[in-house]
């Protein structure tokens, strides 16, 4: 009965070294896939600005994200894409801002309990450490010129490959959730209700977000064209708006008159002047110093 012949040590060493190269390459390719996916999520999950500039803003965010390391990306991801319990959500623009019209803000995130968030944070830090060890310290940690060193290196890479797969699977799940929300958001943005809210500030329930109302934007436009010494005749403004933006009428916003629009919006001061013996209602943009107080004499 013949005995199995053990392969020469040199041949076994070369075989193990080739196997190590393949395993290490596989790990690094998966890590690059992970980095690419997390960059895409970070670039797209949160955006705000003028509706006319959203694409440029998105490209700028993507460009800034592309230059970051995995450690920085994980830092950006945690607390923004994945959050713990209640977070500080963006607040609506204040009523004295003249730049809220035609603006858009979107923030997609997944919320976890404090305990789960802490676990995810620890696991993602582990992945960063794993990546850094593979890239910078793997050769130092294993004597790849010896059989024992190659075998320990192989075991470490097999374990690393399995751990990276787990992280990649989790990230893909998050990415699918974000994509689903984006699809729902895109469907909403293509609806008449979304157009009415974004352009006119009219919410789906019929209430009005006055700082972003289209009729308020129209009044500002009329003031820029017709103001005299900072004040604009409300009658003249309504006539001008009827010519250039006829769809902007008080009834659309649940108001009976232009006077009611000015009062409901709370972003204008209203004052009456005597002009040729007639009492004329005029308005002007409310300044910060008078927004919460009375009109100065």
- Residue 276 is predicted with a pLDDT of 85
Structure tokens that stand for 93 in this block: 């623009």
* pLDDT tops 60 at residue 106: yes
d(CA 89, CA 65) in angstroms, rounded, equals 22
> What pTM was computed for the model?
0.62
104 or 260, which is more confident: 260
Rounded distance, CA 128 to CA 41, Å? 17
At residue 38, the pLDDT reads 94
- Return contacts of 53-56, CB within 8 angstroms, 24+ apart: 54/104
Nearest Cα neighbor of 101 from 218, 263, 22, 180 is 218
Q: Is 77 exposed, middle or buried (0-12, 13-18, 19+ CB in 10 A)?
A: buried
Phi, psi (deg, nearest 5) at residue 231: -115, 145
Residue 98 has pLDDT above 60, yes or no: no
Separation between Cα atoms, residue 288 and residue 78, nearest integer Å: 36
CA-to-CA separations, 5 to 11, 148, 152, in angstroms, rounded: 13, 20, 24
CATH class of 200-291: alpha beta
Give dist(CA 72, CA 128) in Å, integer.
Answer: 10
Which pLDDT value is given to residue 191?
A: 79
Which pLDDT score is estimated for 294?
Answer: 37
For 135-186, write each residue's pLDDT tens digit.
Answer: 999 999 999 899 999 999 999 999 999 999 999 999 999 999 998 888 887 7
Between CA 104 and CA 219 the distance in angstroms is 21
Residues 180-236: tens digit of each pLDDT: 888 887 777 777 887 788 778 888 888 998 888 999 999 999 999 999 999 999 999
DSSP H or E segment with residue 259: helix 258-265
Residue 267 — very low, low, confident or very high, per pLDDT cuts 50/70/90?
A: very high
| pLDDT tens-digit readout, 44-87 | 888 776 655 666 777 787 888 888 999 999 999 999 999 998 65
What's the CA gap between 199 and 185, in Å, rounded? 16
Domain ranges of the chain: 9-189, 200-291
For residue 286, give every residue at least 6 positions away whose Cβ sits within 8 Å of its Cβ, in sequence order, or none: 95, 96, 266, 267, 268, 269
C-alpha 89/C-alpha 156 separation (Å) is 42
Q: How far apart are CA 275 and CA 221, in angstroms?
A: 23
Higher per-residue pLDDT: 291 or 111: 111
Both structure tokens of 133: 């060890």
């Amino acid at each position: 009965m013949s005995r199995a012949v053990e392969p020469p040590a040199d041949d076994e060493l070369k075989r193990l070294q080739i196997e190590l190269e393949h395993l290490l390459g596989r790990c690094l390719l998966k890590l690059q896939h992970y980095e690419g996916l997390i960059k895409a999520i970070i670039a797209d999950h949160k955006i705000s600005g003028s509706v006319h500039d959203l694409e440029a803003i998105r490209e700028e965010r993507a460009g800034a994200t592309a230059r970051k390391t995995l450690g920085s990306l994980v830092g950006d991801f945690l607390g923004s894409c994945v959050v713990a319990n209640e977070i500080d959500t963006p607040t609506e623009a204040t009523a004295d801002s003249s730049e809220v019209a035609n603006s858009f803000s979107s923030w997609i995130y997944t919320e976890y309990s404090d305990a789960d968030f802490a676990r995810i944070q620890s696991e993602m830090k582990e992945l960063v450490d794993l990546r850094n060890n593979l890239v910078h310290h793997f050769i130092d940690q294993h004597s790849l010129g010896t059989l024992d060193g190659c075998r320990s290196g192989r075991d470490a890479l097999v374990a690393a490959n399995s751990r990276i797969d787990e992280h990649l699977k989790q990230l893909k799940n998050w990415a699918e959730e974000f994509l689903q929300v984006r699809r729902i958001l895109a469907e909403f943005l293509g609806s008449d209700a979304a157009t009415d809210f974004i352009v006119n500030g009219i919410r789906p329930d019929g209430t009005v977000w006055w700082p972003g109302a289209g009729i308020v934007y129209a009044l500002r436009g009329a003031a820029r064209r017709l103001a005299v010494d900072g004040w604009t005749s409300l009658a003249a403004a309504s006539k001008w708006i009827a010519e250039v933006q006829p769809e902007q009428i008080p009834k659309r916003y649940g108001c009976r008159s232009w006077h009611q629009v000015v009062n409901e919006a709370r972003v204008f001061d209203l004052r009456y002047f005597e002009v040729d013996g007639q009492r004329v209602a005029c308005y002007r943009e409310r300044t910060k110093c008078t927004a919460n107080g009375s009109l100065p004499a």
